Amino acid sequence: MFYHGLIGTFRVSRGNFSNSVVRNSLERSVCLEVVQLVKQSPNKPITAAIGDGANDVAMIQEAHVGLGIMGKEGRQAVRCSDFAFGQFRFVRRVLLVHGHWYYLRISTLVLYFFYKNIVFITPQLFFNFLSAFSTQAIYDTAYLSMYNVLFTSLPILIYGLFEQNYSDVKLLECPHLYKEIANNVLMSWCSFLKWIAFGVWHTTVIFYIPYFLMMINEAILLDSTPIDQWMFGSIIYHCVVTIVNLKLWFHSRYWSAVFIISIVLSIVGFIGLASIYAIIPGTMYWVYFHAISSPTFWLLSVLAIAVCLVPDTTITVLTPHILSALYRTKVWIGKCRTETTEL
C-alpha cells in the first residue's frame, strides 16, 4: 500500500503534464487511493473513473463521474456508476459528441434565462424612475404571467434538445474540438458577463427608443391620440418578446425546421394572444389593436430590433475571423522564432 501511495503521489506531482492515469490489475483499495490522490492534487481536477468489474466499484464511486462497462465480471460496476455502457467503444462518442452537445445546450440555457429576464424586468426599473417610484407596473399582469410560460419557453426548449454547433461526424474526426468547451469555458465569468451586457444593451434600447420618440411627439399613432402608460408598456413588451426570441435564433448554429417554427410560433402566438386579450374589457381593452394598426408602431419595432441585434450579429460574424487571424499570427511568430534560433 505504501509503495502504491508513493507511485500515486509521484503521478499527481506530475499532474500538470498528464491528463489521465491508467492502471491495470490493482487492488480495490489501491484503485480508490489513485482517484483520491488525483482529486486532492493542487489543480483540483474533475475526475472520471471507468471500470467493468467489482474491483472498480470503489474507484467509480469516488470519482466525480463514474462510467461502468458491462463486462465478463458481471454488472457490479454498472450498478454503481453514473453512466453505463455496453461496450467501451461507446465512451468515445458519448464524450466527444453527446458530451460536447449537451454542455453547449445546458450552458446556453442557463445563460439565456438570465439574459431574457434581464431584458424583461429592467424596463420596469427604468419606468420606476419616470413614475417617481409609484410602484405602478409597466406591464399588465397577464403579460407578466405569460412571458416565461408561453412566449419565451418553447424556442429554448427546442434549442436545449437539438442544438449542434458541429456535426457528430466532425466531432469524431476532430477530437481537438473538445478543447473549445474544456475548463467550463462556456460558463465562465466572461461568458456570463457577455450575456448580461447584451441583456442590458437590449433592454436599454427597447425602453429608451419608444420613450424618446414619445417625448418628441406623443401623438404617433394612426389617429394621432397620445400614448398612455398601457400603450407604452405594450410597445415595450412586443419588442421584448420579439428581440429575445430572435437573439436565440441568431445565436444558434443549427437552424432546424422545428427550431425555426418554435421561434415564429412564439412571436406570432404572442401577437395572436395579445389581440384576443385586447378584446376582453379591462385595462388593456383595445390597446394592442390600437398599437398594431399604426405604421409608426411597426417602424418603431423594426428600428429597435435593428439597433439591438446588429451589434450581436456583427460580433458573431467577426469573432471567428478575428480568432483565425490571431491564430495565423501566432503560427507566423512561432515560425519566425524557430528560423531565428536555427540561424
Residues 224 and 174 in one domain: yes
How far the first Cα of the chain sits from its last, in Å, is 53
Instruction: Output Rg (C-alpha) for the chain, integer angstroms.
Output: 28
CA trace torsion 228, 234, 240, 242 (10° rounding): -130
Q: Is residue 230 part of a domain?
A: yes
Residues 166 and 298 in one domain: yes
Q: Is residue 52 part of a domain?
A: yes
Tell me which residues of the chain have a pLDDT lower than 70: 1-28, 218-224, 320-321, 323-328, 330-343
Structural domains counted in the chain: 2
Q: Is residue 302 part of a domain?
A: yes
| CATH code for the domain in which residue 53 is found | 3.40.50.1000
Q: Is 268 exposed, middle or buried (0-12, 13-18, 19+ CB in 10 A)?
A: exposed
pLDDT score of 229: 84
Q: Is residue 140 part of a domain?
A: yes
Q: What is the rounded CA–CA span in Å between residue 76 and residue 79?
A: 5
Residues 12 and 154 in one domain: no
pLDDT score of 313: 79
Residues 193 and 278 in one domain: yes
In this structure, the number of other CB atoms found within 10 A of the CB of residue 35 comes to 23
Residues 83 and 98 in one domain: no
User: End of a domain among 70, 88, 106?
Assistant: 88
- Unique residue bearing C-alpha cell 489513485: 34
Residues 67 and 146 in one domain: no
Residue numbers of the domain that contains 117 = 94-336
Do residues 70 and 88 lie in contact, with contact meaning Cβ atoms separated by under 8 Å?
no
Residue pLDDT, tens place only, 282-307: 888 888 888 888 888 888 889 999 99
User: End of a domain among 62, 88, 114?
Assistant: 88
Sign of the alpha-carbon dihedral angle for 219, 139, 197, 177: negative
pLDDT score of 14: 47
Q: Is residue 10 part of a domain?
A: yes
Q: What is the pTM of this model?
A: 0.82
Q: Is residue 341 part of a domain?
A: no
Residues 300 and 237 in one domain: yes
Residue pLDDT, tens place only, 81-122: 888 888 888 888 888 898 899 999 999 999 999 999 999 999
pLDDT score of 331: 65
Q: What is the rounded CA–CA span in Å between residue 228 and residue 135?
A: 17
Q: Is residue 171 part of a domain?
A: yes
Residues 298 and 149 in one domain: yes
Residues 103 and 226 in one domain: yes
Residues 156 and 177 in one domain: yes
Nearest CA to 300 out of 229, 225, 223, 222 is that of: 222
Residue pLDDT, tens place only, 130-147: 888 888 889 998 999 999
Q: Is residue 342 part of a domain?
A: no
User: End of a domain among 19, 53, 88?
Assistant: 88
Residues 205 and 329 in one domain: yes
Residues 116 and 162 in one domain: yes
Long-range contacts (CB closer than 8 Å, 24 or more residues apart) made by 64-67: 64/39, 67/91
pLDDT score of 94: 85
For residue 75, give the amino acid letter: R
